[in-house]
Amino acid sequence: MARYAHARYHARYAGRHSGRHFAYRHYRHIARGSRWERGVAQTQAQGFADADDGVSPSAGFGDMGASASSNVVAEARRYLGGNPTGIGSLWCARFMNLVLQHTGYKGTGSDAAASFANYGQRVSGPRVGAIAVMGRRGGGGHVGIITGIDASGNPIMISGNNGNRVKEAPISRGRIYAYVVPTN
């Protein structure tokens, strides 16, 4: 009976909200080891094999491969919920430079998100550990690190200055205009 009530609650909630939002925000309510959770883990492990050219999630990281991409993601996740830059606004690029520096890469040295569009090596689609650059309505931009993909095929990204903190959330793929991977 509890299972039926749980399913009814989620069906009602999903009716008022987009499926992508529902699937991402409420993943914590799914039991550990469930079919849905295993599917997400498998999708992330495959690392966007279906994206554009079918290249592995670590493509573009040279000899360091998957290790480099996971190091960048792990370093960014250390700061979830906080603001390691000490800046009150417009600090997503500063956060990106901090993460790159802590993982042995030289960043752009700029506080402009758009500076990352010409950084490193451009790749054709999302990859775990890649840097995503996007525009914002009203000018400016935003930058973050790809950590996975949601059920709707949108990249999940960790970024600074997302709600004035480091946050991991899905981003509409249409907003992203460049994917790059760091190189030294």
Average pLDDT, the chain: 75
Residue 11, pLDDT > 50, answer no
Is 2 part of any domain?
A: no
Say how far apart CA 66 and CA 69 lie, in whole Å: 5
Query: 57-102, pLDDT tens digit by residue?
Result: 444 444 344 566 789 999 999 999 999 999 999 999 999 999 999 9
pLDDT score recorded for residue 177: 95
Q: Once rounded to an integer, what is the mean pLDDT over residues 150-179?
A: 94
Q: What percent of the chain has pLDDT over 70?
A: 63
Please check whether residue 9 lies inside any domain of the structure.
no
Confidence class of residue 171 from pLDDT cuts 50, 70 and 90?
very high
Residue 79 domain-assigned (yes or no):
yes
* Structural domain count of the chain: 1
pLDDT of residue 66: 59
Q: Is the dihedral of CA 184, 153, 166, 31 positive or negative?
A: negative
Which amino acid belongs to residue 83? N
Measured in degrees and rounded to the nearest 5, phi and psi for residue 145 equal: -110, 130
**Given this model, what pLDDT does residue 69 score?**
72
Element (H, E) at 42: helix 35-46
**CATH number of the domain where residue 161 is located:** 3.90.1720.10
**Residue 52 DSSP SS3:** coil
Range of the domain at 85: 47-181
Q: pTM for the complete prediction?
A: 0.65
Output the pLDDT for position 184. 77
| pLDDT, tens digit (0-9, with 9 covering 90-100), for 129-151 | 999 999 877 778 999 999 999 99
| In a domain? residue 19 | no
| Arithmetic mean of pLDDT, 48-60 | 38
Q: Would residue 34 count as lying in a domain?
A: no
Spatial CA neighbour of 6 closest among 30, 24, 23:
30
Does the residue 41 lie in any domain? Answer: no
Residue 86: inside a domain: yes
Q: Given this model, what pLDDT does residue 70 score?
A: 80
Residue 3 falls inside a structural domain:
no
Q: Which two tokens stand for residue 95?
A: 């956060």
Instruction: Give residue-wise pLDDT tens across range 31-44.
Output: 444 444 444 444 44
pLDDT for 105 beyond 80:
yes
Provide CB contacts within 8 A for 147, sequence distance 6+. Answer: 44, 73, 76, 77, 128, 156, 157, 158, 168
pLDDT at 104 over 60: yes
